[in-house]
């Protein structure tokens, strides 16, 4: 495993992932409310259009597939071979995406979205406060991603 290449690829994918997700969040903000804490999801649900949710998934699914492809091709081009090395390369790169998602989208973007009131129906909901937000963000990025998403990515890349 080429550590410097893995770190750089992880940073690049983190930036691309967060830029694409963040950009489309501003295009379809109501659709992304389906990924928020339960209270916000419920408050915003009357304003969510199914077509926007479908469009959101037409952005996210190809994004993940292209990221997996990039990880595999980049690792191959860097000379990484063998299951173990490929697995840890994919795992490490996805952890960078995880950390970027947590800090950029779940922490910083939450502050911006809360202040601008972009999600109709959930403008002054108490789950925008840190206490409600951390109940979802910390278990998701501290447990679900490192235990489920990153190993799955490592398996896909390997």
Q: What is the pLDDT of residue 31?
A: 82
What pLDDT digit, counting tens, does each position of 38-83 carry?
777 788 878 888 888 898 889 999 999 999 999 999 988 988 989 9
Residues 123-148 have a mean pLDDT of 81
Please indicate whether residue 132 or residue 21 has the higher confidence score (pLDDT).
Answer: 21
- Cα 109 to Cα 144: distance, rounded to the nearest angstrom: 20
> What percentage of residues in the chain have a pLDDT greater than 90?
37
pLDDT band at residue 84 using 50, 70 and 90 as cut-offs: very high
Q: How is residue 81 annotated by DSSP?
A: -
Residue 27's pLDDT is 83
Closest CA to 157 of 90, 93, 76, 61: 90
Higher pLDDT, residue 7 or 122:
7
Confidence check: pLDDT of 35 > 90: no
Whether 128 shows a pLDDT value over 80: the answer reads: no
> Helix axis angle, 83-100 relative to 3-27, nearest 10°?
40
Lowest model confidence (mean pLDDT) among 60-74, 94-108, 120-134 = 120-134
Q: Which residue is associated with the tokens 């077509």? A: 51
Rounded to the nearest angstrom, the gap between the alpha carbon of residue 125 and the centroid of all alpha carbons in its chain is 23
Question: Average per-residue pLDDT in the chain?
Answer: 86
């Amino acid at each position: 495993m080429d550590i410097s290449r893995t770190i750089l690829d992880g940073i690049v994918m983190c930036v691309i992932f967060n830029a694409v997700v963040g950009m489309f969040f501003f295009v379809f903000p109501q659709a992304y409310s389906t990924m928020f804490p339960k209270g916000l999801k419920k408050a915003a649900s009357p304003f969510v259009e199914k077509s926007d949710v479908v469009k959101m998934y037409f952005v996210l699914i190809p994004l993940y597939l292209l990221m997996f492809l990039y990880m595999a091709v980049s690792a191959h081009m860097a000379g990484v071979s063998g299951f173990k090395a490929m697995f840890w390369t994919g795992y490490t790169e996805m952890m960078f995406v995880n950390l970027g998602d947590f800090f950029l989208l779940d922490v910083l973007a939450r502050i911006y979205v809360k202040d601008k009131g972009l999600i109709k129906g959930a403008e002054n909901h108490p789950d925008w406060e840190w206490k409600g937000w951390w109940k979802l963000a910390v278990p998701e990025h501290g447990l679900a991603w490192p235990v489920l998403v990153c190993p799955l990515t490592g398996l896909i890349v390997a």
